[in-house]
Chain A
Amino acid sequence: MGLQTSDMQGLIVRGYKTLTAATYILLKITDVAAATKYFDFLAVNHITTGEKLKKEEAVNIAFTRSGIARLLNDDILNTFSREFIEGMSFRQGADKKRDQNTKMSGGEGIESAEPEERPMMLGDRGKNHPSNWHWGNENKPVDVLLMVYAKNKHALEELTTNIFTNHHQGVEIVYLASTYEYNPDNPREHFGFMDGISQPTIKGFSKENEVEDKRTHINPGEFILGYENEYNSFSPSPFVDRNTISEGMDAHPADPEKNDLGKNGTYLVFRQIEQFVEAFWEYMYTHTKEIAASKTEQAVKLGAKMVGRWPDGRPLVQAPGSGCPVTDATLNDFTYADTDKDGLMCPLGAHIRRANPRDHIHAGRNPKDSLDLSKKHRMLRRGRIYGEPVDKDFNIDNIIHHHSLNGSHACNNTTKKPVTTSIGIENENAVRGIHFMCLVSDIARQFEFVQNVWANTSSFAALHNEVDPIMSPRPTPEQPDCHEFTTPQEMTRNRYKNIPEFTTVVGGAYFFMPGMKALKYIVKYSMANGAS
Chain B
Amino acid sequence: MHRIHGGFTAAFPIKEGPEVKSLSNMLKFLHNNNGPGAANFELSQTTLFVSGVVLPEQYYKTEKLPPTFVLATTYCGPLKTHLRDLIATNKNILLKLLMFCKNFNGGYDAPDDEIYAFLKKHSYHSNFNSRCNFISKQDTQNEKALKNEIEDYIDSAQTQGAFKGLSAMQIRKLIQRHIMACGDKYAWALKPCKKNWREWLEIVRVYITYQLLKITGLALVGALVAPLVLTIAALFGYKYNLTLCLSGCIPLVFIGIVLGNLMTLKTKTATRPPDSRIKELAATQLNPVLNEMTAAAPLKRGFLRPHLYAFILRVLGLVSSITSKIPTVSNIRWLVIDNKKRLVFLSCFSNTTDFYVRDFIVGDTAKGVNFMFTHGQGFPDAKWMFKTKGIISDPEGYMHAVHTGQHVTELWYAHEKLLTADIINKNRKIRNGLFKWMTEEDAREWLKLL
Contact = CB atoms under 8 A, between A and B. Distances in A.
Interface of A: 78, 82, 85-86, 92, 114-115, 117, 120-121, 231-233, 236, 289, 342, 362-366, 368-369, 372-373, 376, 444-445, 448-449, 452-453, 457-459, 462, 464, 476, 478-479, 488, 490-495
Interface residues of B, number: 49
Contacts of B365: 369
A458 B168 contact: no
A449 B355 contact: yes
Interface in B183-231: none
18 contacts: A85-B275, A114-B283, A231-B392, A233-B395, A342-B448, A363-B327, A364-B422, A376-B361, A448-B355, A449-B355, A452-B351, A452-B355, A459-B420, A459-B423, A462-B426, A491-B166, A492-B158, A494-B158
Contacts of B155: 495
B151 interface: yes
Contacts of B418: 458-459, 479
B319 to A, nearest CB: 18
Contacts of B419: 459
Interface of B: 151, 154-155, 158, 163, 166, 168, 171, 272, 275, 278-279, 282-284, 286-289, 325, 327-328, 350-352, 354-355, 358-359, 361-365, 392-396, 418-420, 422-423, 426, 444, 447-448, 450
B363 A492 contact: no
Contact of B396 (A236, A464, A478, A491): A236
Contacts of A85: 275
B328 A231 contact: no
Contacts of B358: 376, 445, 449
B278 to A, nearest CB: 6
A445 B395 CA distance: 11
B282 A363 contact: no
Given A233-B396, A459-B350, 19 more contacts: A82-B279, A115-B284, A120-B286, A231-B393, A364-B325, A364-B327, A364-B422, A368-B363, A369-B364, A376-B358, A445-B358, A448-B355, A458-B289, A459-B418, A464-B423, A479-B418, A488-B448, A491-B171, A492-B171
A231 B361 contact: yes
A462 B289 contact: no
B146 to A, nearest CB: 13
B279 A92 contact: yes
A445 B423 CA distance: 25
A479 B288 contact: yes
A504 to B, nearest CB: 20
A178 to B, nearest CB: 34
A289 B156 CA distance: 13
Given A445-B358, A495-B155, A457 B396 contact: no
Contacts of A464: 423
B158 A476 contact: no
Contacts of A365: 327, 362-363
Nearest to A123: B288
A82 B289 CA distance: 23
A363 B422 contact: yes
Contacts of A444: 354
A254 to B, nearest CB: 8
Nearest to B276: A82
A373 B360 CA distance: 9
Nearest to B159: A289
Contacts of A457: 288-289, 350-351
Contact of A115 (B286, B288, B420): B286
Contact of B287 (A231, A478, A488): A478
Contacts of B423: 459, 462, 464
Contacts of B278: 82
A236 B279 CA distance: 18
Contact of A490 (B275, B289, B394, B444): B444
B425 to A, nearest CB: 8
A314 to B, nearest CB: 24
A288 B285 CA distance: 37
B190 to A, nearest CB: 21
Nearest to B289: A459
A369 B363 contact: yes
A433 B279 CA distance: 32
A431 B284 CA distance: 37
B287 A492 contact: no
A89 to B, nearest CB: 15
Q: Which 5 A-B pairs have the closest CB atoms?
A: A364-B327, A363-B327, A369-B363, A462-B422, A459-B420
Nearest to B358: A445
Given A342-B448, A363-B328, A232 B393 contact: yes
A175 to B, nearest CB: 28
B361 A92 contact: no
A364 B326 CA distance: 8
A492 B355 contact: no
Contacts of A490: 444
Contacts of B363: 365-366, 368-369, 372
Contacts of A493: 154, 448, 450
Nearest to A344: B448
B168 A491 contact: yes
A500 to B, nearest CB: 19
A365 B395 CA distance: 20
A452 B352 contact: yes
A33 to B, nearest CB: 29
A117 B282 contact: yes
Contacts of A78: 275
Contacts of A495: 151, 154-155
A305 B392 CA distance: 36
B362 A369 contact: yes
